[in-house]
Chain A
Amino acid sequence: MLVLAARRIASMILIMFVISVMLFVFFEGDKLNLAMRVLGQYSTMEGRLQWLEDNGYNRSLLVRYFSWISGFLMGDWKLSAQFSAPVFDFLLPRLKNTAILGSCVFLITVCISLILGVFSGIAEASLRDRAITVASVLTTSIPDFASATFLVAIFVYWLDWLPGSSSFSNGFTWRELVLPVGALVIFNFGYYTRMTRASMAEVMSSQYVRTAVLKGLPYGRVVMRHALRNALIAPFTVMILQLNYLLSGVVVIEVFFAYDGFGKAIYDAAMFGDVYLILAGAMIAVAVAVTTQFISDIGYTYLNPRIRFA
């Protein structure tokens, strides 16, 4: 178990390293372009060359990479060209906002999909199962920005119950959170419901559940003691991976609702060409992705005694 964790951590670090090199070369490989981005389109060629010289860009790429990565690891994320503020200070509140949005979506999605998935998987091919399955296919087929469109059309333009933008310009309110959370939950819960359903249905038709039934156990006990634990292993691992999606996959919804989160920050930075901001954002996104992957792997091992005591 520990060895497994150590291996996973080693591979995480390796992946992070490769990605940091890729990102660095991708963004800083073309020096002149970089200078143009940082200094603006109307800067002169001499100014750009001077800037490159001043900032040590005439050193070899390797040296530059190491000076960048060591600075980055120490918390020196440089200045954002767009906001002329330290990238670190800028990203922190954005991350917090996305964390609020993400955790709301995560909690609601997990609750809905586990409940619906288990209820439909228990009674495979029943009317209830079919209804839940159809509902999940339908909602997963509507992209998040499309369901956001529908929600806005209904609740903002037609009923005028909720605000159509979530920029919190007058401070944080739950009202502004409803629509972005709603759109993301609608888009996401179907997939996890079907996942849970499939896992539950498979377990319910397994031989050991048959054994449990033929032991004369009450149905409730069969489901709670024998089926659930085995059925939830697979959905658990997938849902943990969803955390990663929520940090950076919500770009479209954040842009749609003008929600000042991490995803929108990356998007704005990319559109503006704010190199250091994108670089830092991408690194954070990848770090989160790799970490959730790690948690999911370890969790799977822990939940599954066949692997744990192998």
Chain B
Amino acid sequence: MVTPVLELKDVSISYYTRAGAVPAVYDFSLTVNPGEAVGIVGESGCGKSTVALAIMQYMGKNGAVTGGEIRFMGRDMRTMSEEELRKIRGSQIAMVYQEPMASLNPAMVIRDQLIEVPMIHEGIDARAAEKRAIELLDAVRLPDPQRILNSYPHQLSGGQQQRAVIAMALLSNPKLLLLDEPTTALDVTVEAGVVELIKDISKRFGTSMIYISHNLGLILETCNRICVMYSGQSVELGSVGQVFDQMRHPYTRGLFSSIPLPGADRFSHPLVPIRGQLPLPRDRPTGCTFSPRCDFFVPGRCDKPIPMLDIKGDPGHEARCVRYDEIDWAKYKPKGVETEPMEPGPVVLKVNDFKKYYEIRDNSIGALIAGTGSRYVKAAERLDFEAREAETVAIVGESGCGKSTFAKVLMGLETSTGGEVLVNGIDVGKLPVKKRPAGMISGLQIVFQNPFETLNPSHSVGAQIGRVLKKFGVAKGSEEIERKTHELLDFVKLPREFAQRKPRQLSGGQKQRIGIARAFGGNAAVVVADEPVSALDVSVQAAVTGLLTDIQRKKRTTMVFISHDLSVVRYLADRICVMYLGRIMEQGTTDQVFNPPYHPYTEALLSAVPIADTSVVKKKIVLKGELPSPMNPPSGCPFQTRCHRKIGLICETELPPVKELAPGHKIMCHLPDEELRAMEPVIAIARKEIDETVSAATPVEDAPMSQAPAQLKVKKGSVRKSLVKTPGDNAQP
């Protein structure tokens, strides 16, 4: 038997605080074999990053591994001296971090940060080290390695920085690579490139990997095995196929039920959040940590400490659930309450030829001499779309695409440069908020992205809701305000006591609910939701999207949903605008956008989104290069620098025409119509034998995946081969 590269055995890790030792991770075991990629997945606070730092034996002053063994190549790292550890770090075990910018030294050029690794570990001279560095920069597909070597970190884009960090990690050819959320800070299309690179690394260098992520889809793309963590413990461990298709822990099941996979639909197949909340380390329940949120809790059995149990008849698969063989997993699939789709009403918001330019002053000498001291950045150009009552229109795009610019103008925080933004026929584009009448202000509201910034930390929740009610003239006098505040709290399904609480006493999801209550406090006709769930854990996301849908149904609000996450958009939106560098590249109904014909950018975007479903097959399109800066957009078609379907010079010189390929489905592209129409779907659902009786239109969630154990024994790769492509569930029946 081969020695595992890494073996964690009953590891416990604690942090010491004023209140005493807080166990962050306990009773954690994991084995990583040579060449294997193991994913650790879990929500925030589950201890996954702590595990990575414990492996590196870097716990800081107030953390320590308090029990168990961490064996690297058979030797317990806990018994090693600081000098021995130093020799292993960077040469045998290397790490890639979540924020590449912060992990690189801002005052050193990349060269110095790279070459010191082999120089220290292998004693080679600077020239040889630089040669190696260039090879690796090339291996991580960074163009022009010389330029990169001479750059300071801030001169590189996020994707380039992360590739440089990966190159740094690989410089001494480590046996084990720890990746801690390596793509979380990156845009989707850039992320896709880095993920591709990471997959390639294990193949090329035979490096074992531990990939830590909150995103199940990314784990599916990169790993062989997966460990699901919950509240400091592993709850399920197995091959990707075992855990994704035959999960044996209620938490894993709950996690999958709350992610918007293709097939989920907010009306017919709403997502199901996991009830309850992640317990704080200090008040974890004895026994199963998931028990307070579990549907199968049995007193006397679940409230005793539970070890990881081998799943009978499924070698390599473990779960921390005493009742795993009592639960009927085929039937246990939390299902939300089905509702009727909403019937959209008349057009409420109409945007005509909207433009927003920002003036940028360039203070460099060159610019002053050339007379280009003042330039305009076109944050949004020629935006045309409309939204109806009770309809959700999503604006999707990566950073810098201008999706938030429109929201700012709609809210009156900024004014437009040109065009019209008609709300019920009134142009609000040139009206800053201080010139708007009170009725208009309360009619146009916004839900913000970051739950930690959305509420003023100094004031109580009640005071903040009350202020909105008073300001919007909904309630007068302290009694009425209090009554209405309580009504609003009921409305967003929070207890009334929360009125007295300060924001810091609330969880992220709860804060977001208050943010929603505030936006809907004055019967808003149009509400902008600016990435309202992107900072939340998946199990909470489902609850918040559910709440938004409920409220929209009750109030028939028009929602403008701004997001970078196509999965959420697909789940929530009726219509979608895909933006790139200030322009709408494609728009149409959700079905139209998610099915061919696509704009090439939409096609790439769809391909880039990781999907946590083994039965989904994606066409692989990895865009080259980085997102251009909106300050300096390419000529012609904004997408031409990265387009995989570029036809030629015309793309570089002329702005493409907007073509209406079906009623309401507009694409801005030079490609001939025939070629657009000939495109194949990017996302396809594998039809398993058992599904054959089910029509293609049946959403996948009904596909009884777990009833086909024999088939799922087949390795991931071979499943793919047998897949039959079917259109996505959103296709017309």
A301 interface residue (CB < 8 Å to B)? no
Q: Cβ of B365 and Cβ of A214 under 8 Å apart?
A: no
A44: chain B residues at CB < 8 Å are none
Q: Cβ of B105 and Cβ of A221 under 8 Å apart?
A: no
B97 interface residue (CB < 8 Å to A)? yes
B698 interface residue (CB < 8 Å to A)? no
Secondary structure at the B interface, as helix, strand, loop or mixed, is: mixed
Residue of A nearest to B363 (CB): A3
A26: chain B residues at CB < 8 Å are none
Cross-interface CB contact of A214 among B56, B61, B108, cutoff 8 Å: B56
Cross-interface CB contact of A309 among B88, B95, B155, cutoff 8 Å: B155
Complex-state Cα separation, A215 to B178, whole angstroms: 12
Complex-state Cα separation, A4 to B165, whole angstroms: 33
B154: chain A residues at CB < 8 Å are 305-306, 309-310
Q: Cβ of A208 and Cβ of B102 under 8 Å apart?
A: yes
A214: chain B residues at CB < 8 Å are 56, 58, 89-90, 94-95
Cross-interface CB contact of B103 among A2, A211, A303, A305, cutoff 8 Å: A211
Residue of B nearest to A209 (CB): B105
CB distance from A226 to the nearest CB of B (A): 5
A130 interface residue (CB < 8 Å to B)? no
Given A3-B364, A208-B102, A216-B152 contact (CB < 8 Å): no
Q: Cβ of B89 and Cβ of A213 under 8 Å apart?
A: yes
A218: chain B residues at CB < 8 Å are 86, 120
Q: Cβ of A216 and Cβ of B56 under 8 Å apart?
A: no
Residue of A nearest to B152 (CB): A305
Given A305-B154, A309-B152, A309-B154, A215-B107 contact (CB < 8 Å): no
Complex-state Cα separation, A217 to B116, whole angstroms: 8
Q: Cβ of A226 and Cβ of B108 under 8 Å apart?
A: yes
B165: chain A residues at CB < 8 Å are 211
B121 interface residue (CB < 8 Å to A)? yes
Given A216-B88, A218-B120, A225-B116, A207-B97 contact (CB < 8 Å): yes
Q: Cβ of A305 and Cβ of B107 under 8 Å apart?
A: yes
A306: chain B residues at CB < 8 Å are 106, 152, 154
Residue of B nearest to A228 (CB): B107
Q: Contact flags (1/0) for B83-112 with A, using CB distance below 8 Å?
A: 000111111001101010011111110001
CB distance from B52 to the nearest CB of A (A): 10
From A125, A205, A207, A306, name the one whose CB has the most chain B CB atoms within 10 angstroms. A207
Complex-state Cα separation, A211 to B61, whole angstroms: 16
Given A208-B102, A305-B154, A306-B152, A229-B120 contact (CB < 8 Å): no
Complex-state Cα separation, A291 to B668, whole angstroms: 57
Within 8 A of B (CB), among A203-235: 205-208, 210-218, 221, 225-226, 229-230
Within 8 A of B (CB), among A91-142: 124-125
Q: Cβ of B104 and Cβ of A208 under 8 Å apart?
A: yes
B577: chain A residues at CB < 8 Å are none
Count of B interface residues, CB-CB < 8 Å: 35
Given A215-B117, A216-B121, A208-B105 contact (CB < 8 Å): yes
Cross-interface CB contact of B61 among A125, A208, A217, A303, cutoff 8 Å: A125
B168 interface residue (CB < 8 Å to A)? yes
Cross-interface CB contact of A221 among B107, B120, B368, cutoff 8 Å: B120
CB distance from B533 to the nearest CB of A (A): 27
Complex-state Cα separation, A207 to B103, whole angstroms: 5
Q: Cβ of B89 and Cβ of A210 under 8 Å apart?
A: no
Q: Cβ of B106 and Cβ of A221 under 8 Å apart?
A: no
Residue of A nearest to B172 (CB): A216
A58 interface residue (CB < 8 Å to B)? no
B363: chain A residues at CB < 8 Å are 3-4
B121: chain A residues at CB < 8 Å are 216
Q: Cβ of A215 and Cβ of B168 under 8 Å apart?
A: yes
Residue of B nearest to A206 (CB): B102
Complex-state Cα separation, A310 to B363, whole angstroms: 11
Residue of B nearest to A208 (CB): B105
Given A309-B152, A309-B154, A216-B103 contact (CB < 8 Å): no
Residue of B nearest to A6 (CB): B365
Q: Cβ of A216 and Cβ of B365 under 8 Å apart?
A: no
Q: Cβ of B103 and Cβ of A215 under 8 Å apart?
A: no
A33 interface residue (CB < 8 Å to B)? no
List residues of chain B with CB under 8 Å of any chain A CB: 56, 58, 60-61, 86-91, 94-95, 97, 99, 102-108, 112, 116-117, 120-121, 152, 154-155, 165, 168, 363-365, 368
What would 12 more interface pairs be, CB under 8 Å, given A3-B365, A216-B90?
A124-B61, A207-B102, A208-B104, A211-B165, A213-B58, A215-B89, A217-B86, A217-B90, A226-B108, A229-B107, A230-B107, A310-B154
Show 14 A/B contacts (Cβ-Cβ < 8 Å), sorted by A: A3-B364, A4-B363, A208-B106, A211-B103, A214-B56, A214-B89, A216-B87, A216-B89, A216-B90, A221-B120, A225-B116, A305-B107, A305-B152, A306-B152
